[in-house]
């Protein structure tokens, strides 16, 4: 095990997979000479050369369109989009081509493509550059959506995403790159896609989260423990496939649930989780499922207003106490 930042864990995963498989290529804006916006592709150009690490024009349609074609012809491209907000410019390529090609061609084609991108607020980049919208992409069958919360998960999930034959949106929270954690050195370390993980055991309330909200939820659980309230924190890790078995198992013990997401509450991940709990675990419900989410406004630029709009530890604490 080694202590690594999330950024370094991603870089390590990319380098390991490129070393293992010569079909793995990286493309995107500033991924080569500059080493990536957050340093995740630093050193790859020197190590693997310009044929496999390519800077692209500032055109998300070109980046993902080229990557889809490359994937259909035998390569395993990792395409970087600087922010998920810009992925809207490649929406047609992602959801009408990458996600559907395997089905529409009767299984004759695969599209082993990873689109790495960032998501979330907290950097004062205002409404059009701070959205948390990975759940929109998770709506589409044929497209996997992964959102890690720790350095170890980032490494293990990215390696698995590169190896799968399906297209994957790999979504990294933009303020978490410097967050450190223990990461296995094992070159074969993999975490299967679509497997949730219990990050903290507890018996009073089940807290379901993903990405940065896992960290927020764990901090809230620490505060609640001081009052004798023990939360079980379940990290979804993937939005599609969505593994809710650990959530159901936990809920049948706690009978109460709070779902925490950074996006807006309306039509969000919390809505899906709550609906599935009511469908699968109705006889165990002792209180309404509570949802904690971003305020329903375009995210403000001013730091104090941005913080007020985003879910905070105190919001999770209040929600847990309300269901008790």
**Active-site position among 129, 135, 172, 232:** 129
Strand partners, 207: 233, 258
CB environment 102-137: b (16+ within 10 A), e (fewer) = beeeeeeebbbbbbbbbbbbbeebeeebbbbbbbbb
Tokens 């939360």 locate to 231
Order of strands across the sheet with 290-294? 197-200, 231-235, 205-209, 257-264, 290-294
279 is catalytic: no
Number of other CB atoms surrounding residue 43 within 10 Å? 14
Which residue, 181, 192, 40, is CA-closest to 117?
Answer: 40
**Active-site position among 60, 80, 232, 261:** 60
Return contacts of 296-304, CB within 8 angstroms, 24+ apart.
296/264, 296/265, 296/266, 298/127, 298/128, 299/121, 299/126, 299/127, 299/130, 299/131, 300/126, 300/127, 301/124, 301/125, 301/126, 301/127, 302/124, 303/124
Q: Is the bond leading into 298 cis (omega within 30 degrees of zero)?
A: no
The pair of structure tokens assigned to 285 is 């419900």
129 is catalytic: yes
| Cα(22)–Cα(176) distance, integer angstroms | 30
Tally the C-alpha atoms within 13 A of residue 169's C-alpha that lie toward its C-beta: 36
- Give the distance, in angstroms, between the CA of residue 70 and the centroid of all CA atoms in the same chain: 24
Strand partners, 180: 5
| Cα(267)–Cα(279) distance, integer angstroms | 17
| 283: Cβ contacts below 8 Å, ≥ 6 apart | none
Return the active site residues: 60, 129
């Amino acid at each position: 095990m080694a202590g690594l930042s999330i950024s370094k864990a991603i870089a390590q995963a990319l380098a390991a997979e490129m070393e293992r498989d010569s079909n793995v290529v990286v493309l995107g804006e500033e991924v080569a000479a500059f080493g990536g916006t957050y340093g995740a592709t630093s050193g790859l150009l020197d190590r693997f050369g310009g044929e496999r690490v390519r800077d692209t024009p500032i055109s998300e349609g070109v980046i993902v369109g080229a990557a889809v074609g490359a994937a259909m012809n035998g390569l395993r491209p990792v395409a970087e989009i600087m922010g998920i907000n810009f992925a809207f410019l490649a929406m047609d390529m992602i959801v009408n081509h990458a996600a559907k090609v395997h089905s529409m061609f009767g299984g004759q084609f695969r599209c082993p493509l990873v689109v790495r991108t960032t998501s979330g607020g907290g950097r004062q980049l205002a409404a059009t550059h701070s959205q948390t919208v990975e759940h929109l992409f998770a709506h589409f069958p044929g497209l996997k959506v992964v959102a890690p919360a720790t350095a170890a998960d980032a490494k293990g999930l990215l390696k698995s995403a590169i190896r799968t034959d399906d297209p994957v949106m790999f979504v990294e929270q933009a303020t978490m790159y410097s967050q450190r954690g223990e990461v296995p050195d094992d070159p074969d370390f993999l975490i299967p896609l679509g497997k949730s993980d219990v990050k903290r055991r507890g018996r009073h309330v089940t807290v379901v989260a993903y990405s940065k909200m896992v960290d927020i939820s764990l901090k809230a659980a620490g505060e609640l423990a001081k009052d004798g309230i023990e939360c079980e924190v379940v990290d979804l890790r993937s939005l599609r496939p969505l593994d809710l078995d650990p959530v159901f198992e936990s809920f049948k013990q706690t009978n109460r649930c709070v779902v925490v997401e950074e996006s807006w509450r309306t039509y969000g991940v919390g809505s899906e989780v709550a609906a599935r709990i009511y469908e699968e675990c109705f006889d165990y419900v002792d209180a309404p499922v509570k949802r904690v989410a971003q305020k329903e406004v375009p995210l403000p630029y001013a730091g104090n207003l941005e913080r007020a709009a985003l879910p905070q530890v105190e919001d999770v604490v209040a929600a847990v106490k309300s269901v008790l």
